[in-house]
Structure 1
């Protein structure tokens, strides 16, 4: 499954910040059963590379596993060694983008302005992450979409809820990163399953 296929199947990215290697497979299984196809483990989680490796080994055929909060080219290399295929960052560092593409991986840097978005695309970004979406309303995404290359997906991340997904979709957002409203350390599997289902329903409605 390619990143594009996964995004088409379910345009939601599960951001599991703070997850531990001991719980990651059970949470991954819960999300995949609910229909999610892209899972991100941020590198500021405990033993993130171990969690990513476990997800890749167990679910690599069913889902795209990525790393988030990737800030340096050396971190890109560490993540590439796990078999992960997506690098997601809160910022747009051209060196990180170039290292990601050189490793044959999908690059999704965070941007907050059209200037940053175009610079990221020039460096080779596969798509861009509008971050934090709380401060980038749908109206602004719509304006970005009018000028950015059509093939570059814009994902809204940060403050996305089942209630505001339709507005972002109508503005042209191709997908959504969902963090603490889906998973926080200590959230039980039943709650994660319920939230995962609500987001899937909202995605279909959007």
Structure 2
């Protein structure tokens, strides 16, 4: 399995399909991968999320990193692994969930907001860190954190990220971004998602 950094080097965007349903997830996933995105997260507060994850893993698992967000319990981690997902994303700093994900061979991308949380998660084996909510931080905060965090460890701002806000975060040391409603809102079809993805890809290129 490729590392998180290798996936982010291919494309530093994590699509968060919050609210997606299983019967629409493959069309959306195909549109995202065709647009160049390589990491797809299905939050567990979506309808039947493990079925969506299983379908994406079967259909796109060789072309994209598929995972779950809003993971809160060890049972969630077990069900994610059973569905074929490879990436665990949490909204909070729980070293025990990171350790459980690593025990099951998953990539762990837990949420954090403070240096103390960051280093506890790194000690548990986190593959990267999700700076959440990014709206409550700033590129200046990330720059300060990058001065003390391991240089190779990806840090991904999540929350309020748009094509227009990518550049200052990248300059501050962001290794990637989690993108939610700016890429997908429930009801969006594949064409709409493909168009939004193209805007993010263009912003990265510029």
Task: Tell me the TM-score range normalised by the shorter chain.
Answer: over 0.9
CA distance in 2 between counterparts of 1:203 and 1:187 reads: 23
Q: Would the aligned equivalents of 1:18 and 1:44 in 2 still touch at CA under 8 Å? A: yes
Structure 1 match to 2:128: 127
The residue number in structure 2 matching 1:181 is 182
Which residue of structure 2 aligns with residue 117 of structure 1? Answer: 118
1:4 Cα deviation (Å)?
2.5
Structure 1 counterpart of 2:202: 201
Deviations 1:124-162 (A, max 9, x none): 111100001111100000000000011211001000010
State the partner residue of 1:152: 153
Unaligned runs of 5+ in 1: none
Equivalent residue of 1:147, what SS?
A: coil
Residue 189 of structure 1 and its aligned partner are, at CA, apart by 2.1
Aligned length: 205
Moved over 6 A (4+): none
Q: Secondary structure at the match of 1:13?
A: strand
Structure 2 gap segments, 5+ residues each: none
Give distance in 1, aligned partners of 2:82 and 2:152: 28
How far does the alpha carbon of each residue in 1:19-43 deviate from its partner, in whole angstroms, 9 at most, with x for none? 0000000000110010000000001
Report the secondary structure of 1:107's partner residue.
strand
Q: Look up the match of 1:69.
A: 70
Query: Following the alignment from structure 1 to structure 2, what is the Cα–Cα distance between the partners of residues 7 and 35?
Result: 11
- Partner Cα distance (2:7, 2:36) in 1: 10
1:46-76 deviations in Å (ceiling 9; x for gaps): 0000000000000011100011000111110
Q: Please say if residues 182 and 195 of structure 1, whose CA atoms lie closer than 8 Å, have aligned partners that are also in contact.
A: yes
Name the CA distance, whole Å, in 1 between partners of 2:31 and 2:73. 31
1:38-53 alignment runs, 5 A limit: 38-53=39-54
Per-residue deviation, 1:5: 2.1
d(CA) in 2 for partners of 1:152 and 1:120?
12
Structure 2 counterpart of 1:169: 170
Q: What's the counterpart of residue 10 of structure 1? A: 11
Q: Tell me which moved more, 10-19 or 112-121.
A: 112-121
RMSD: 0.9
Describe the SS at the equivalent of 2:123: helix
Q: Contact conserved, 1:72 with 1:95, CA < 8 A, in 2?
A: no
